[in-house]
Structures are given as C-alpha cells and as structure tokens.
Copies of this chain bind each other. A is one copy, B any other.
C-alpha cells in the first residue's frame, strides 16, 4: 500500500547536465539542468525543460544550437554553481576557470573539462507551463579519451556521471545487470 506524496516531479535518477550556448555577443555561457532526457533513437533526440526567462533559452533560440555536457562527480561544485547564477550577471566559465572550444557541428561551445558532450541542433520548443520543452537533435557526440575503454567505449566508472536524486547530486553506483540481458532468466 503506497502513501501519497506531494505532486511534484519526483523521478530518479535524472541526468545533471550542463547546457552550453553563445549569447548575443558570442560569449559562451553554461547552465545546469536536471529536467533533461533522451526521447528518440533515430534521429537521436533529447529533451530539456528550460524556463523561458533564462539566458540559455534566449541563446539557443537565436543560434538554434546547444551543447549538453555530462559532468563527472568531481565537478559537482562547478555544476551546482552553473545553476545558481545567471550568465546575465556573471561570466560563469571565467569564474570557474573553465575553457571551451567551438562545437564541431553546431554553433555552441564545447566546455573542455566536462568529459562527454552532445552537440545538438534545435528541433522545437513548446510552452508547457513554468518550463519550455526544448527538443533537440544530437548531431555529434565526443568524449575525453580518459573516460573511454581500450575498445573506445564509454567506461561508466571513469565517466562517473553526476546523478540527480532525492537530496541532490549522487555518483553512479555499481553495475547491477546488462540491459536486454539480465532479464532473459525470466523468459
């Protein structure tokens, strides 16, 4: 018998991502978002929920482009900071000493210190209420060599993606089972 809780967006884990955009002057900005997820395999697309008032939203509309970075758990302070202040008031990358390079496929910045980045092209925006639903197509994926196995695949323990959970940010735990595999016992 389940107990009723407050009706809030209570889904875990969520990815704690950092969205990169260029502002009107071409200056790079970064904003943290946990309202994000994958929504399509072919073409690969993701969703991000962003408040209409955010600089990031204004920026991504202008250039139809954004980057979505997966931070490692050791960048938890920087990631949280990117969600605390607006790029309208502070140069967040300068403040954290982070550098970036232009995206290879889209007009948005790739932040060097985050180990994994998805370069995305804007597909659509829809007003839902407090947030705009942004759908974007992933047109390039790149990662630091340090988070890849010798076979060139992502290594979960090296990537150590930041997980958004009930009390804040968590690390990723141990492998519990392979997908499309561990459930075959029940077939």
- Measured between beta carbons, the chain B residues less than 8 angstroms from A172 are 12-13, 163, 165, 170, 172-173
Known: A40-B49, A170-B176. A79 touches B10 (CB 8 A): no
Residues of B close to A37: CB separation below 8 A = 11, 14-15, 35-39, 47
Q: Mark A39-53, 1 if CB is under 8 A from B, else 0.
A: 111111111110000
With an 8 Å Cβ cutoff, the count of chain A residues facing the other chain is 102
Are A40's CB and B35's CB within 8 A? yes
Q: Which of A8, A171, A179 has the most CB of B within 10 A?
A: A179
Report A155 CB to chain B, min CB distance, Å. 7
User: In the complex the two chains form, is B176's CB within 8 Å of A171's CB?
Assistant: yes
Given contacts A166-B153, A170-B174, A179-B80, contact A47 B39 (CB under 8 A): yes
**A residues within 8 Å of B by Cβ?**
2-15, 17, 34-49, 68, 70, 73, 76-85, 95-96, 104, 110, 116-118, 123-124, 126, 128-131, 133, 135, 138-145, 148, 152-156, 159, 161-187
Q: List 8 A-B contacts (CB under 8 A).
A: A3-B145, A11-B70, A13-B172, A14-B37, A45-B133, A161-B165, A167-B175, A169-B177
